């Protein structure tokens, strides 16, 4: 029997508003512990939440980008539970009346778009950060004490829940990448996993291919990169398939990964049916986004990354188009003239590695450079790319020093190399033609990359075959 993975995601994104969700403390990732706190985010008696209007506006924007219906009447609820990082004893979140519902994100791919349904996108506040002392990994088990840093408490957080519409780890990775790029381009979050401004959990189950049942799922938590998530999903799918094929049953549980150690097996815990005693937050009035605000936000939506991938893929393949868009280099790509595939390749490889600022690059100069790259020595080309973002950069300086193509200059070098490697010459002549690359490499090293590879190839072939 062949098995089909059924994958759903729950993504949390910090909004990069200047201040917190319900108080006007600065949102920070770097300030000293507990230096950005006030009676509201420390839950002092009598303090009351005042919603961050920007956060509401941005969530509406995100909802529109995800083709959601924006609720005319949305409600904040209290989610009640005790934990030291939850200062009020409840988190202000949304429950049955979220701000954005019933959307979708179309993820472009070779075989057409994959439609991923968005169940909801709602606004809530992040918890504080518990710091466990006395253990090397900062984990709770074995800790001698726990300190709480409330700087993060109250950071605006958008939770996005997808339908279980994803069918492979690779789909999940592409979806996450596209979603991330979308929020970054909307300017509402920097969505950096290392910073914790983007986090996600994955629900995984499997079913016989072609069936539409939903079997018991497990939840994967603390995944710290898209690539790691993809690997973890693959492993979990294999594990579940293995269980079913040996006649077992998958148990509903949560797999907690250790962000510090990817190779460590995840800790497993039974999913407890926790009762959060949700009820409407009486300290806040319902959110009723004015229609004109919603329409203005809709009109202001830029061309979204999904659409751009689709457009770019007409000249390239989907993977390259997606790479360009999700790396944020597509706008430069579109401005640089020249062969589309060459430009894309250089931008995604050598240019990406060069450290040049894409926004500062003169696209025409870069275009000239890329067009002439076969006649520029490799290290010179690398150097040119690194400087391509400098003010006043001109490709001209690099086009002049072309490769050495003069056979009278190259021939003695080629002869010297052949003489120095009689064994390899014999092998080549005995049929190991793959050794040609070896000789080319030797010549290139001798000439510090300045030899024209085409001429070197010709010379070598000629000498290796003629004198036999």
Partner 1 sequence: MIDTLRLTAEEASGLIERGEASAAELHAAYLDAIGERDGELHAYLRTVDESEGGGVPIAFKDLISTKGVETTAASKILAGYVPVFDSTVAARCREAGLPLIGKTNMDEFAMGSSTENSAFGPTRNPWDPERVPGGSSGGSAAAVAGGLAPWALGSDTGGSVKQPASLCGIVGLRPTYGTVSRYGIVAFASSLDQIGPMTKTVRDNALLYRIVAGRDPYDTTTVDLPQPVELPEGEDLKGVRVGVPAELNEAEGIEPGVKEAVDRTIDLCRELGAEVGETTLPRSVEYGLACYYLVAPAEASSNLARYDGVRYGLRVDGANVREMYERTRDAGFGDEPKRRIMLGAYALSAGYYDAYYGQAQKVRTVISHEHAAAFESFDVLVSPTSPTVAFKLGEKAENPLAMYLSDVLTIPSNMAGLPGLSIPCGLSEGLPVGFQLIGPQFSENLLFRVGHALETAIGFDFVPERLT
Interface residue with partner 1 among 146, 374, 448, 465 (CB under 8 A) is 146
Q: Which of 5, 63, 87, 338 binds partner 1 (CB under 8 A)?
A: 87
Write the binding mask 22 to 41 for partner 1: x where contact by CB under 8 A, - elsewhere. Answer: -----------------x--
CA distance 70 to 250: 37
Kindly give, in sequence order, each residue whose CB lies less than 8 Å from that of residue 312, ignoring residues fewer than 6 positions away: 321, 324, 325, 330, 333, 334
95 forms part of the interface with partner 1 (CB under 8 A) = no
The reply to whether 379 sits near partner 1 by the rule CB under 8 A is: no
Q: Say how many Å lie between the first and final Cα of the chain, rounded.
A: 59
- Residue from 111, 210, 282, 431 binding partner 1 (CB under 8 A): 282
Q: Which of 44, 341, 432, 454 binds partner 1 (CB under 8 A)?
A: 44
Tell me, letter by letter, the H, E, C secondary structure of the chain: CCEEEEEEEEEEEECCCCECCCCCCECCCCCCCCCCCCCCCCCCCCCCCCCCHHHHHHHHHHHHHCCCEECCCECEEEEECCCCCCCCCEEEEECCCCCEEEEEEEECCCCCCEEEEEEEEEEEECCCEEEEECCCCCCCCCCCEEEEECCCCCCEEEEEEECCCECCHHHHHHHHHHHHHHHHHHCCCCCCCCCCCEEEEEEEEEEECCCCCCCCCEEEECCCCHHHHHHHHHHHHHHHHHHHHCCCCCCCEEEECCCCCCCCCCEEEECCCCCCCCEECCCCCCECCCHHHHHHHHHHCCCCHHHHHHHHCCCCCHHHHHHHHHCCCHHHHHHCCCCHHHHHHHHHHHHHHHCCCHHHCCHHHHHHHHHCHHHCCHHHHHHHHHHCCCCCCCCHHHHHCCCECCHHHHHHHHHHHHHHCHHHHHHHHCCCHHHHHHHHHHHHHHCCCCECHHHHHHHHHHHHHHCC
Contact 305, 177 (CB under 8 A): no
Residue pair 8/41 in contact (Cβ under 8 Å)? The answer is no
Work out which of 14, 61, 88, 308 binds partner 1, going by CB under 8 A: 88
Q: How far is the CB of 311 from partner 1 (least distance, A)?
A: 44
Our finding on whether 449 is near partner 1 (CB under 8 A) is no
The span from the CA of 36 to the CA of 296, in Å, is 33
CB of 196 to partner 1, least distance (A): 22
Which listed residue (29, 50, 357, 406) binds partner 1 by CB under 8 A? 50
Nearer to partner 1, 74 or 309 (CB): 74
- The least distance separating partner 1 from the CB of residue 225, rounded to whole angstroms, comes to 31
Residues 56 to 85: which contact partner 1 by CB under 8 A? 78, 80, 82-84
State which residue, 89 or 441, has the beta carbon closest to partner 1: 89
Q: Would you count residue 148 as binding partner 1 (CB under 8 A)?
A: yes
- Token pair in block for residue 300: 């202001």
Complex with partner 1: residue 94 or 326, whichever CB lies closer: 94
Pick out residues in 284-303 that bind partner 1 (CB under 8 A).
284-285
Shortest Å distance, C-beta 86 to partner 1: 9
Candidate segments 60-68, 240-248, 262-270, 279-287, binder of partner 1 by CB under 8 A: 279-287
- If one asks whether residue 277 binds partner 1 (CB under 8 A), the answer comes out as yes
Residue the block writes with tokens 């959990």: 201
For residue 174, the number of C-alpha atoms closer than 13 Å in the C-beta half-sphere is 26
- Which lies closer to partner 1 via its Cβ, residue 5 or residue 87? 87
CB of 317 to partner 1, least distance (A): 50
Number of residues that bind partner 1 (CB under 8 A): 30
Find the shortest distance in angstroms from Cβ 129 to partner 1. 13
Which residue in 72, 89, 187, 208 binds partner 1 (CB under 8 A)?
89
Cβ proximity to partner 1: between 80 and 225 the closer is: 80
Q: How far is the CB of 57 from partner 1 (least distance, A)?
A: 16
Shortest Å distance, C-beta 283 to partner 1: 5
Least Cβ distance, residue 16 to partner 1 (angstroms): 23
Q: Which is nearer to partner 1, 45 or 423 (CB)?
A: 45
Query: Which range, of 4-12, 119-127, 282-290, 386-394, touches partner 1 by CB under 8 A?
Result: 282-290
Q: Which is nearer to partner 1, 80 or 345 (CB)?
A: 80
Whole-angstrom Cα distance, residue 433 to residue 427? 8
CB of 150 to partner 1, least distance (A): 8
- One residue of 29, 35, 48, 187 binding partner 1 per CB under 8 A: 48
Minimum CB–partner distance for residue 22 and partner 1 (Å): 10
How many other β-carbons are positioned within 10 Å of the β-carbon of residue 455?
19
| Closest distance to partner 1 from the beta carbon of 52 (Å) | 12
Q: Summarize as ranges the residues that interact with partner 1 (CB under 8 A).
A: 39, 42-51, 78, 80, 82-84, 87-90, 146, 148, 275, 277-279, 282-285
């Amino acid at each position: 029997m062949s098995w089909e993975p059924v994958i759903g995601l729950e993504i949390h994104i910090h909004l990069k508003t200047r201040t917190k969700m319900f108080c006007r403390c600065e949102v920070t990732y770097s300030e000293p512990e507990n230096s950005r706190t006030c009676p509201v985010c420390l839950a002092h008696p009598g303090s009351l939440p005042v919603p961050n209007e920007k956060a509401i506006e941005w969530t509406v924007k995100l909802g529109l980008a995800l083709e959601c219906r924006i609720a005319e009447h949305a409600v904040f609820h209290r989610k009640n539970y005790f934990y030291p990082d939850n200062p009020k004893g409840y988190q202000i979140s949304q429950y049955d009346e979220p701000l954005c519902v019933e959307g979708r994100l179309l993820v472009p791919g070779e075989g057409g778009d994959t439609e991923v349904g968005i169940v909801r996108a709602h606004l809530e506040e992040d918890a504080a950060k518990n710091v466990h002392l006395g253990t090397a990994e900062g984990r709770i088990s074995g800790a001698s004490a726990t300190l709480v840093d409330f700087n993060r408490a109250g950071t605006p957080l958008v939770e996005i829940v997808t339908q279980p519409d994803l069918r492979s780890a690779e789909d999940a990775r592409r979806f996450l990448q596209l979603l991330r790029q979308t929020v970054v381009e909307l300017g509402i979050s920097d969505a950096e996993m290392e910073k914790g401004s983007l986090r996600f959990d994955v629900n995984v189950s499997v079913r016989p291919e072609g069936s539409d049942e939903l079997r018991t799922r497990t939840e994967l938590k603390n995944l710290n990169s898209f690539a790691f998530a993809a690997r973890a999903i693959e492993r979990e799918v294999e594990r579940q398939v293995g269980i079913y094929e040996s006649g077992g049953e998958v148990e509903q549980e949560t797999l907690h990964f250790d962000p510090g150690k990817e190779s460590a097996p995840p800790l497993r815990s039974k999913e407890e049916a926790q009762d959060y005693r949700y009820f409407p937050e009486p300290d806040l009035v319902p959110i009723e986004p004015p229609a004109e605000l919603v329409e203005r936000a809709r009109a202001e939506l830029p061309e979204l990354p999904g659409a751009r991938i689709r457009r770019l893929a007409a000249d390239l393949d989907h993977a390259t188009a997606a790479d360009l868009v999700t790396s944020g280099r597509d706008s430069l790509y579109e401005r640089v003239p020249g062969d589309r595939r060459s430009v894309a390749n250089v931008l995604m490889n050598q240019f990406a590695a060069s450290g040049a600022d894409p926004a500062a690059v003169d696209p025409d100069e870069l275009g000239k450079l890329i067009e002439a790259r076969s006649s520029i020595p490799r290290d010179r080309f690398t150097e040119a790319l690194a400087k391509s973002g400098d003010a006043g950069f001109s490709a001209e300086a690099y086009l002049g020093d072309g490769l050495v193509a003069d056979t009278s200059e190259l021939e003695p070098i080629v002869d010297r190399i052949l003489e120095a490697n009689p064994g390899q010459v014999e092998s080549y002549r005995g049929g190991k033609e793959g050794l040609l690359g070896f000789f080319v490499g030797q010549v290139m090293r001798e000439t510090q990359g300045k030899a024209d590879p085409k001429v070197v190839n010709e010379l070598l072939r000629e000498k290796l075959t003629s004198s036999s």
